[in-house]
Amino acid sequence: MNSEFCIAVHALVFLNRKACILSSTELAKNICTNPARIRKIMVKLKKAGLISTKEGLDGGYFLKADPKDITLFQVSEALDFKFVSSAWKSGGVDMDCLIASGMGQVLDNIYADLDSLCKERLKQITISNIDDEIFLSHTTVNGGNT
Amino acid sequence: MNSEFCIAVHALVFLNRKACILSSTELAKNICTNPARIRKIMVKLKKAGLISTKEGLDGGYFLKADPKDITLFQVSEALDFKFVSSAWKSGGVDMDCLIASGMGQVLDNIYADLDSLCKERLKQITISNIDDEIFLSHTTVNGGNT
DNA sequence: ACAAACTGAAACAATTATAATTACAGTATA
DNA sequence: TATACTGTAATTATAATTGTTTCAGTTTGT
C-alpha cells in the first residue's frame, strides 16, 4: 500500500503546479493509473483538509492548503499507512517457547519505531520542496546556454 | 521481502539461545515456516559471516559471530533488501511533463533516504539486545513471587 | 428544469508478489 | 557406506495489489 503515497504526493504536486481544478481522469492520465484509484486516495486527502472537490460540470480536485505547509508527514498520516511493517509473523503467540511466542511483538515494536523515524523525517519535506526539486533543476540561470 | 528479515532475526536469536547446532527443519518448526525457506535465508547469513554450517549427520547451523556484535543492520545488509521502497512508479520517465517524468526518481530518492535512516537506527540493536528483551522481561528479581 | 460531468463507493477481474511444497544433487560424518 | 544434512531449483498455492466496470448521488451551467 506504499504506492498510495506515491500517487498522493504526485497528485498534490501536479495540482499545485497546474493551479486549477483537475478531474480524477486528468490526474490519472498524468500519474498513469485509473480514475477510480485516484478518487479512492483523494477522499483521504480531502478528509485531512489538504484538498477540496468541486462536483458537477468542470468539477474535480484542487489544493486547499498552502503547498509550503503540506508536509509529506501530513500526507502519510492522511493515508494512514506504514512505511515499515510486516504482515507475516514468525512463530506464534500461543507457542510454549518464549522466543517463538515473543518474536512477533519484538519485531512489531522495531517496525513501529522505524516507521515513526521515517515519518519524523518527512516533516521536513513539503509539496513546495518537491516542486522546487523538479523545476529548479531544469532551469539554469542563463537559460540553458552552457 | 520483509519477512526474510523477521526469519533471519528469529533464527539468530534462537541459535544464540539454544547454543547448539540446529537443522533447517528445527529452525523452521520454531519460526513456523518451511525448511527450504530457512535454508535460502541462511545461505545469505553464512555469506555475511554471521553463521556457519555443518553438513552430514547431526549437521545444521550455528552462530559464528558474537551475538553482542551482530547488529540488525548487519542482518539487513546480509539479506540485501530495503525496508522502504516501492515497486510501483507513478508517471513515466519518457513522458513530456516534467512532473510525470521526474516523480519516480524523486520518490526513489526519498525512499532511499528513509531506508538508510532505518538501517542507521538498526546499528544500535544487537541479537543480544533482543535476547535480553525476551528473557529479562520474563525474569523477576525474586523469581516471580510478587 | 434538465442534461452533462463529475465524485464516491462497491463489486469484480486481472495481475503481481509472496510463501509453501516437492524434489534432488552434493557432501560431510559417524 | 548409509544417513542426514545443506544448497538449489522448479512448481504450485495463496495473498496482496492494481485495474476495470458500474451506478447512485450531486452540483453546475445553460
Q: Provide the residue ranges of all domains of chain B, joining segments of one domain with +.
A: 3-84+126-136
Other CB atoms closer than 10 Å to residue B144's CB: what's the count? 8
Compute the average pLDDT of residues A123-132: 98
Probe site for chain A from B16, B30, B31, B90 (most A CB atoms < 10 A): B90
What proportion of chain B, given as a percentage, has pLDDT over 70? Answer: 93
Tell me the C-alpha distance between A87 and A78, whole Å. Answer: 21
The nearest CA of chain B is from the CA of A97 a distance in Å of 8
Averaged pLDDT score across all residues of chain B = 93
The nearest CA of chain A is from the CA of B49 a distance in Å of 23
Residue A63 — very low, low, confident or very high, per pLDDT cuts 50/70/90?
Answer: very high
Report whether pLDDT(A119) > 70.
yes
Report whether pLDDT(A134) > 80.
yes
In angstroms, the first-to-last Cα distance of chain A is 43
* Whole-number pLDDT of residue B146: 40
Tell me the C-alpha distance between A106 and B131, whole Å. Answer: 10
* Whole-number pLDDT of residue B113: 97
Quickly name the fold that domain A3-85+126-136 has.
Arc Repressor Mutant, subunit A (1.10.10)
Report whether pLDDT(A49) > 90.
yes
A2/B88 touch (CB, cutoff 8 Å), yes or no: yes
- If you measure CA to C1', which residue is closest to nucleotide D4? B57
Report whether pLDDT(A140) > 70.
no
Report whether pLDDT(B145) > 90.
no
* Whole-number pLDDT of residue B141: 53
Residue B99 CB contacts under 8 Å (≥ 6 apart), including other chains: A10, A13, A14, A17, A30, A134, B91
Compute the average pLDDT of residues A80-101: 96
* Candidate CATH numbers 2.60.40.10, 3.40.50.2300, 2.60.40.1260, 1.10.10.10; the one for domain B3-84+126-136: 1.10.10.10
Residue B2 — very low, low, confident or very high, per pLDDT cuts 50/70/90?
Answer: confident
Residues from chain B that touch A85, judged by Cβ atoms under 8 A, are: 2
Tell me the C-alpha distance between A4 and A40, whole Å. Answer: 9
Residues from chain B that touch A99, judged by Cβ atoms under 8 A, are: 10, 13-14, 17, 30, 134
